[in-house]
Every structure is written in structure tokens, then in C-alpha cells.
Amino acid sequence: MNQASEGYPIKEYPQKVKRYCQILELRDNPTLIAEYRKRHSREHVWREILDGIKEVGILEMEIYIHGTKLVMIVETPIDFCWDTAMARLSTLPRQAEWEDYMSEFQQAAPGMASSEKWQLMERMFFLYD
């Protein structure tokens, strides 16, 4: 049974949050995609990367995959500044090394920062009343 059919835990925050959505394309290679998924599992993702994400103020981050397409959803406090946080994130321990490590799977050049690879999406519809 896949995780979607079991449901996902949802974090609730005592304040309003902002949500950012980004896309990224992986190389079209099933072996590489399987390895990319593995390296993002709880057992294999680098602790410094998770700590850095939290350190810059990101509350939650999820990545969804369909074929070679990734969608990342990021929730932040309302006063979060994306550009400032991404600039800081790129300087934190092992972040540049992680980005180079991941570039082998992504349609991106080694040396690119996360903010250069992931493309922000524009919200165009919502269902809330």
C-alpha cells in the first residue's frame, strides 16, 4: 500500500505561514532516480542538510515525484524572506557538497546552488472559501 492511501501527517502552526512550491527535473534514468529517492530517505539524507533547512527558518519541506519531475512544497513563517534564506542556506555546513552530490541525478550542473536548480512556481488557484 502506498503512503498516499494511508494519509499524511499535517503540521499545524499557531501563526499564519507562507507556502512556496518549486519544480526540478531529474535525469531520465530509472537507476539514478531510484538512487536519488534512496539518498532522500530518512536513513540516508545528511543530518547537516536537515539541520540547515530548519536553521534558515523553514518549518516543513516535502518533495513529490512523478517520473522525472519533482515538486517541492515548503512552508515558512509569514515573515520569511526566500532570497535571504536561500543565500544563507548555501553557506551552511556541507550544503554545497550536498548540492554537488545531488547534481548527478538532476538536470543541473555541478556547483549550482539549490536556488539555481529549483524553479519557484506561481500559485494560480486555491479551493479555500
Enumerate the domain spans of the chain: 15-120
Least confident of 55-59, 93-97, 109-113: 109-113
**3 band by pLDDT with thresholds 50, 70 and 90:** low
- What pLDDT was estimated at residue 6? 82
Q: What's the mean pLDDT when you consider all of the chain?
A: 93
Distance (Å, whole) CA 32 – CA 35: 5
Global confidence as pTM? 0.89
Give CA angle at 81 (78, 95), nearest 5°. Answer: 120
**2 band by pLDDT with thresholds 50, 70 and 90:** low
- For residue 21 the three cell numbers come to 512550491
Element (H, E) at 60: strand 60-66
**β-bridge partners, 120:** 22
Q: What is the mean pLDDT of residues 87-106?
A: 94
- Topology of the domain comprising 15-120: Alpha-Beta Plaits (3.30.70)
Distance (Å, whole) CA 111 – CA 96: 7
Tens of pLDDT along 57-68? 999 999 999 999
Element (H, E) at 53: helix 47-55
